[in-house]
A and B are shown apart, each in its own frame.
Chain A
């Protein structure tokens, strides 16, 4: 990617590309609207997904009786296995008309729609992380809380949650990475317009969707080169997420050891 993207980096066009707007008819190939689009879709998705995932993991890790816990975890794992395109397809026929008629107006294809479905998509990943974190608290400490007469809720809030904090942060980073990297949901639901989004009901295009849309352009064109700029930014983002993840898991290991 660096090799193919090198002419861009070398010519100083790279920073141009990041800052400019996208208008091939006028010879502008900037990917700034897509960078904002990616962030504007991934962050709200995380914000919607976090409370849901936390709540579900509380129930699945401790609060519910064991049979229900197992059922819940099975369902979450099943959700994680559903292909992305199914979520997108169902949303196109159910959520999009609902958004158009009831909430946002316009075409129903917008950042909010995409964020909601992305939140649903990244929730299982986060829940699995959270549940692992919450249930890997030392047995001795749990018994101690029980011996002191602490309730389940007290145990969760004062022992398990602080202990599982690194796992929760790791899950969030993982979820954000997935939301940022997902192509199909934003391609199908976000509308892919090239305007910089200003509100949640604007249509927007993510970096990944941009790559998917422009990949058919011929190899020598500037459009095609801009894909590499988009790829580099995504790659940098993914690397940052992985490094963060490593650091956080390292921290939690040290704490446990």
Chain B
């Protein structure tokens, strides 16, 4: 695919002065990409000589990382086919012990019974932490778990009640298929109901934009996404920072696990090793997760 591009650029660079400099800069960037690709190449070595089909199913939070990793692997080695399906953690664990898939993804630790009964092997390759965020202008920087539940259920609907200005609270929520919401709903809201009047946004990015633009808004994003545009809110005194999530002191987090039946072998083993390699971990971080390395 690179070659025709290369040729067309070198042709166009013959045409004249303006084109030539443009052609050169494009050429340089193309070459740069190529070199960058080579530099990353090491982590793909484990797939050399591998071939066949790898089936993956389970947790939806894993899918963005899985998709990108699969695409990279299939591009570097066309002999390998990887299919990825969702279904949720339950489906992931069930299908891997039934032998329907090679790798099952889970957003929680498999129970001891599950592991013992089916000889499951588990790899934790990233951590997903979710932090509450408000607008930087907001005075509120600390909430208790109970206050948070009351805010999201609509029982507390004014910032005054939690030490802020006398303004109504605007809730921002994610759609039900969001992995971020799942963590937040289970670990922070303890599965309590979210008020129906909550605004719903489509992504971590959209959540940041919404809260950054709304001085009276409150929402939640994956910890990896928190930056200066929004202010993190400490939950029961613990700030949602990467360090706190890694230490395990910030509770609204979960590991992202991949399971195989028995010791992983062949393609599945290579895939899991790749997830834990620097390239795999970088992809996980790009998707807003926290590296386990």
Binding site for B on A (CB under 8 A): 21, 23-25, 92-93, 96-97, 100, 105-109, 187, 191-195, 202-203, 205, 212-214, 216-220, 223
Contact yes or no, B199 A109, CB < 8 A: yes
Binding site for A on B (CB under 8 A): 60, 85-88, 91, 168, 170, 172, 175-178, 185, 191, 193-194, 196-202, 209-210, 213-214, 216-217
Contact yes or no, A203 B88, CB < 8 A: no
Given contacts A106-B168, A192-B200, A193-B196, contact A213 B175 (CB under 8 A): yes
Cross-chain contact of A216 among B177, B196, B201 (Cβ < 8 A) = B177
Given contacts A100-B214, A108-B214, A218-B60, contact A192 B177 (CB under 8 A): no
A155 vs chain B, min Cβ distance (A): 49
Complex CA distance for A219 and B91, rounded to whole angstroms: 12
Contact yes or no, B213 A192, CB < 8 A: no
B201 cross-chain contacts in A, Cβ below 8 A: 192
Residue of B nearest to A195 (CB): B196
Cross-chain contact of B87 among A109, A203, A216, A218 (Cβ < 8 A) = A218
Known pairs A21-B196, A192-B199, A218-B177; list 9 more (Cβ under 8 Å): A25-B194, A96-B213, A107-B170, A187-B202, A191-B199, A192-B201, A195-B196, A213-B202, A216-B60
Contact yes or no, A107 B200, CB < 8 A: no
Cross-chain contact of B85 among A193, A205, A216, A218 (Cβ < 8 A) = A218
Complex CA distance for A218 and B61, rounded to whole angstroms: 11
Complex CA distance for A235 and B91, rounded to whole angstroms: 33
A213 cross-chain contacts in B, Cβ below 8 A: 175, 177, 200, 202
A107 cross-chain contacts in B, Cβ below 8 A: 170, 172, 199, 210, 214, 216-217
Residue of B nearest to A224 (CB): B177
Given contacts A193-B198, A195-B197, A203-B199, contact A214 B217 (CB under 8 A): no
A219 cross-chain contacts in B, Cβ below 8 A: 85-86
Given contacts A25-B193, A220-B87, contact A191 B200 (CB under 8 A): yes
Contact yes or no, A214 B60, CB < 8 A: no
Residue of B nearest to A216 (CB): B177
Contact yes or no, B197 A202, CB < 8 A: yes
Complex CA distance for A164 and B155, rounded to whole angstroms: 55
Cross-chain contact of B200 among A100, A205, A217, A218 (Cβ < 8 A) = A205
Q: 5 A-B contacts, Cβ less than 8 Å apart?
A: A21-B196, A107-B170, A108-B214, A214-B175, A217-B60
Complex CA distance for A103 and B209, rounded to whole angstroms: 21
A24 cross-chain contacts in B, Cβ below 8 A: 176
Cross-chain contact of A218 among B86, B199, B202 (Cβ < 8 A) = B86
Complex CA distance for A21 and B216, rounded to whole angstroms: 28
B83 vs chain A, min Cβ distance (A): 13
Complex CA distance for A159 and B178, rounded to whole angstroms: 57
Cross-chain contact of B176 among A109, A205, A214 (Cβ < 8 A) = A214
Complex CA distance for A106 and B202, rounded to whole angstroms: 20
Cross-chain contact of A193 among B168, B176, B197 (Cβ < 8 A) = B197
A34 vs chain B, min Cβ distance (A): 11
B279 vs chain A, min Cβ distance (A): 25
Residue of B nearest to A97 (CB): B213
Complex CA distance for A214 and B87, rounded to whole angstroms: 14
Complex CA distance for A191 and B200, rounded to whole angstroms: 6
Contact yes or no, B213 A93, CB < 8 A: yes
B214 cross-chain contacts in A, Cβ below 8 A: 100, 107-108
A197 vs chain B, min Cβ distance (A): 10
Cross-chain contact of B197 among A25, A96, A203, A220 (Cβ < 8 A) = A203
Cross-chain contact of B213 among A92, A212, A216, A223 (Cβ < 8 A) = A92
B191 cross-chain contacts in A, Cβ below 8 A: 25
Complex CA distance for A214 and B178, rounded to whole angstroms: 9
Complex CA distance for A205 and B202, rounded to whole angstroms: 12
Complex CA distance for A212 and B206, rounded to whole angstroms: 14
Given contacts A213-B200, A218-B86, contact A106 B170 (CB under 8 A): yes
B19 vs chain A, min Cβ distance (A): 29
Contact yes or no, A217 B177, CB < 8 A: yes
Complex CA distance for A218 and B91, rounded to whole angstroms: 11
A220 cross-chain contacts in B, Cβ below 8 A: 87
A32 vs chain B, min Cβ distance (A): 12
Cross-chain contact of B177 among A21, A202, A203, A223 (Cβ < 8 A) = A223
Residue of A nearest to B198 (CB): A193
Contact yes or no, B196 A194, CB < 8 A: yes
A194 cross-chain contacts in B, Cβ below 8 A: 196, 200
Complex CA distance for A212 and B196, rounded to whole angstroms: 19
Residue of A nearest to B176 (CB): A24
B193 cross-chain contacts in A, Cβ below 8 A: 25
Complex CA distance for A93 and B87, rounded to whole angstroms: 37
Given contacts A105-B168, A193-B196, contact A223 B85 (CB under 8 A): no
